[in-house]
Amino acid sequence: MDLEELRERARRALDKPARYGPDLDISSFPPPPKPKSPQDILKRSSHLLASVGIDPTGRKGSGAYIQVDEEPVELKTNVEGVRVLTLSGAIREGLVEDYFWKAIPVDGDKYTAAAELFGNHEGYVIIAERGAKIKRPIYTCLLMSTPGSIQAPHNIIIVEEGAELHAITGCLTMMEAPGLHAGVSEYYVKKGGKLTYTMIHEWSERTHVRPRTSVIVEEGGQYASYYINLTPTASLQTDPKVYLMGEGAKAYLSSVIVSKGNSLMDIGGTVYLKARNTSAEIVSKSVTKDRAEVITRSLISAEAPGSKGHIECDGLLLSESSRILTLPSLDARVDDVQLSHEAAVGRLNEDQIYYLMTKGFSEKEAVDMLIKGFMEIKLEGLPKPLVRQIEASIEMAAAGL
């Protein structure tokens, strides 16, 4: 691993725009200074952590990692079979040479470059050891506290052969000034492994978000992700890539997006079915209000016989000045594949509102019920406390629309 070569490639890509989403000037977001009292910041933001399902003590899960700006401040592991480290520590121990910048090119765009140049090689590394069944989740949190700055962590999760792991990430900001989050995440699921990854984000109306994620799944492996963003965000652009490299590998990607105010969100999801008998499902639900705009891009590319894929994109417009654009794509490279998609965008059904009102509900109660029903997603395999947290967050978001 030649760190200087990686940094040089990153420097050359600092002006390289992303393929989608509004372009940003990286130089407008300087790296933050080291927090003077990160523990005090955590205490003052405990209610924010709870809002995204994060338990900073780690007592409810198998471990915890919390980072304030670019400074790791909490690192706990409670069970055998899983390790939680900082990226810099994992590099020093030689644990990530086969994974560091292997799933994502460091010069993919200006945001991947920023993670290498400005992230100080910080972020979390989680390793589920071979055969370990980690029953309780690992909690991670990336908190932005410095106004006008960039947060650029680099995260790596490795699920060894036959292991099972559930990670929960809460990303949020406690500042009103503009900021940029440009995190890189590389996930590796080995033969027969299973990774469930849940993201609950609570950004501010002036935060720009540019995560870059790539997942490699080997034979018989499974990857499931749940992405939930229920608060206004200045702009969000992401398109996680999942590569099913081994026979029988599976992927499930689900997202629930609420976009209000002047938010602009460009949400993607791409799965490459590269081995025989692989399968993928992508489900996205978007709600817009005010002048917000959501673009949902989904692609399943079938490149091996016996592969299957399905895309479902649903949108709900709550104002005449908001916009939803769905772009589901299917790419069959060989015969003997099954690919399908369905998309629907519309407004609340007046007849359904009227029907509920005839049953004694007020108009607002009827509208809230219909929005909540639209936003419900399949939450199979998640811990019951997290399911309750997600359902409560969705209910609160529906009531606030």
Q: What would you report as the CA-atom Rg of the chain, rounded to the nearest whole angstrom? A: 21
Question: What pLDDT is stored for residue 367 in this prediction?
Answer: 86
pTM, 2 dp: 0.93
Single-letter code of the amino acid located at 304: A
CA 333 – CA 324 distance, rounded (Å): 29
| Closest to 240 in 3D by CA, of 220, 222, 223, 218 | 223
Give me 278's structure tokens: 């692989």
Q: CB within 8 A of 149, min separation 6: which ones?
A: 29, 30, 31, 32, 69, 179, 180
- Residue 31's φ and ψ, nearest 5 degrees, are -60, 145
Q: What is the pLDDT along the chain (401 residues), one digit of tens a residue?
A: 788 999 999 999 999 999 999 999 999 999 988 877 777 777 666 666 666 666 655 566 667 898 989 999 888 888 899 999 999 999 999 999 999 999 999 999 999 999 999 999 999 999 999 999 998 889 898 988 888 999 999 999 999 999 999 999 988 787 667 899 999 999 999 999 999 999 988 888 889 999 999 999 999 999 999 999 988 899 999 999 999 999 999 999 999 999 999 999 999 999 999 999 999 999 999 999 999 999 999 999 999 999 999 999 999 999 999 999 999 999 999 999 999 999 999 988 888 888 888 888 888 888 888 888 888 877 776 777 777 777 777 777 777 67
Question: What pLDDT is stored for residue 93 in this prediction?
Answer: 95
Question: What pLDDT is stored for residue 111 in this prediction?
Answer: 97
Question: b/e for 211-247, b at 16 or more Cβ within 10 A?
Answer: bbbbbbbbbbbbbbbbbbbbbbbbbbbbbbbbbbbbb
Residue 54 · residue 168 · CB < 8 Å:
yes
